[in-house]
Structure formats: C-alpha cells, structure tokens
Amino acid sequence: MMERLKKPSILNKKINKDKIRKVLKGSREKDGLIKQIIVYALLVCIGFIYLYPILNMISSSFMNLEDLLDTSIKWIPSSLYLDNYKKAALNMDYLNSFVQSIIVAGVPTVINVIVCSFVGYGFARFNFRGKKLLMAILIFSYIIPPQITMMPTYVLYADLKLVGSLWSFVLPALLGQGINAPIFILIFYQFFRQIPKVLIEASQIDGAGYFKSFRRIALPSAIPAIITVFLFSFVWYWNESYLTQLYVNGVFGNGSWTTLIVELKKFDSGYNPQLAMVVDGAAQSNNESIRMAAIMLSILPVLIMYFVLQRYFVESIDRTGITGE
C-alpha cells in the first residue's frame, strides 16, 4: 500500500516540476516568464532612455525662473507657468512659421511619395538594359555625404535663381532627388516586388495598361509603404534646418520662406533684445524654460502626426497580407 501511495506522489511532483519549467522557460507556443521579464525590462529601459529627455523638457518648459533656481524642485513645478510658451510663440511668430513649415515640408513630401513610387515600381516590375547599374548609382548617391554636394548645389541653385524660394526643394523632389529620396525608392522597390505577378498579369489580360495596373493594383497594396515614406519624408523635411536655411530661407535670410526649426535656431538672437525688459521690477532673462517651451512648440506638430500615422500604419499592415512569388 505504501508503494502504491508513493508512485502517484512522485508523478505529481514530476508534473508540477514540468509545469514550473514551462511557466519559467516557456514552450514552442508560448514564451516563458523569464524571457518575458527580460524583454519587458529591456523595453522599459530603452523607453526610459527615449522618454527621459522629452519628459524633462516638458517639465522644464512649465517652470518659472524661481523654480529653475530652486534645487528642491526637480520634476513637478510649483505652478504651470504658461508665459514661457506665450513668449516663445511671440518671438518665433508661431502661426506664420507653422503654416510655412507645413508647406515647406508637405509639398516636397507629397511629390517625393508620388515620384519615388513611380521609380520604385519601374525598378521592381520591368527588366531593362542598365538596370543594375542604375540601382548601384542609386545606392551610391545615398551613401555620398550631403556636405560634399552642398556647395556645388548651392552654386547651381544660385545660377538658376532658385535660392530663397520653395523651388529649391520642389525641383529636386520632382526629379527623384529629394531629401533621402534613394531610401524611399528602395522601400517602394522592395514592397512592389512582394506583389504577386499574377495580379498584374490578370489586370493586363482584362485590358488594363501599365499605368492603370499601377494605379488599381500596386498603389492600393502599397498603403503601408506610402504611409512610411510620407511619415519619414515629412519629418526629415521638417527637421532639416541647415538646407532649409541655405536654400529656401537664403544664406542672408533674404527668402520669403521660413520654418519653425529655422526660427528655433534664431531664437536666442531674436530673444536677446528682450533681455532688458523689466517685468514686476525684475529683469526678464532668456532662461532655460523659455528655450524648452520653444523646442516643444517646434516638435509638437511632428509628434502628433507621428502618433496618428503610426496607428494607421499598423492597421494597414494588418489588412495587407500579400506574399510574393
């Protein structure tokens, strides 16, 4: 009787040990608890590294000068001091700069999406002489640092009288040479290669031409690529301060176009005349909180657009289940 009782207890111990192992180490179908803890710990650490500067900037932007000088205040200000945003917006001429930023970043981005999709589709679907050479030139043009071509490009734009106008961004985008256009062409190229050739051939049998097949079959399937290219192209044009100031705004500021990033670079020099202002009997200084408020105002539209488009990007990938041949 004792031996019979011992056997089930031994079996129960083995079963319990196997369950504990599966829970800790996992199985083929499910990750174990140890792996999940490690993964989530890494994600929290990486997320903290990225979020810390933004959270610190938001906290500092709402602090007044007394809070900045008070060592006991680290994260939470004594009160939400909104005057920092008012002063930064007034100095940057925010509404006018914001509208111009949308145009300067949006128009070349839309052209980039259209032109790069055409070029990427051509590389993906057609075989022609010199295709490999053109692909090599495309990749090589992306590798070349922009600092090498900056001055010759400026001389060319000056000769064509494009400096100080939006055409200095629009014309290269029309020719497939916008900011980081080669990487966008490669994104479309890889995505269009995944579309089954049967769909294109079936549409051509039904009487559709090359352009109609591209518009009816390829483009609707490439929504994730379109959103990705639009998002990154817009952000790169928005954040590009040096080329914008060099080509669009003009070296001497003689252009009629400006952006929030360009105004942010001019912020200190523009705010310096206000250092002599006297408010409530105390000298008003260009403190760190006003700088943080100006930075927040310049990146806030991009952050909002990124979070909105990220959701649509994930949804579009879930809807598009295309496998290549």
Spell 13-23 as b/e; 16+ CB within 10 A means b: eeeeeeeeeee
pLDDT digits (tens, 9 = 90+) for 263-276: 888 776 655 545 44
Q: Is the pLDDT of residue 111 over 90?
A: yes
Contact by Cβ (8 Å): 291, 281: no
> Can you give the pTM of this predicted structure?
0.77
Strands 282-283 and 278-279: antiparallel
CATH of 93-265, one of 3.40.50.300, 3.40.50.720, 2.60.120.260, 1.10.3720.10: 1.10.3720.10
What is the domain partition of the chain in residue ranges?
2-69, 93-265
Nearest 5°: CA angle at 289, between 283 and 291?
A: 100
What pLDDT score does 34 carry? 76
Q: Is the pLDDT of residue 253 over 60?
A: no
The whole-angstrom separation of Cα 292 and Cα 310 is: 25
What pLDDT score does 325 carry? 42
Share of the chain above pLDDT 90, in %: 6
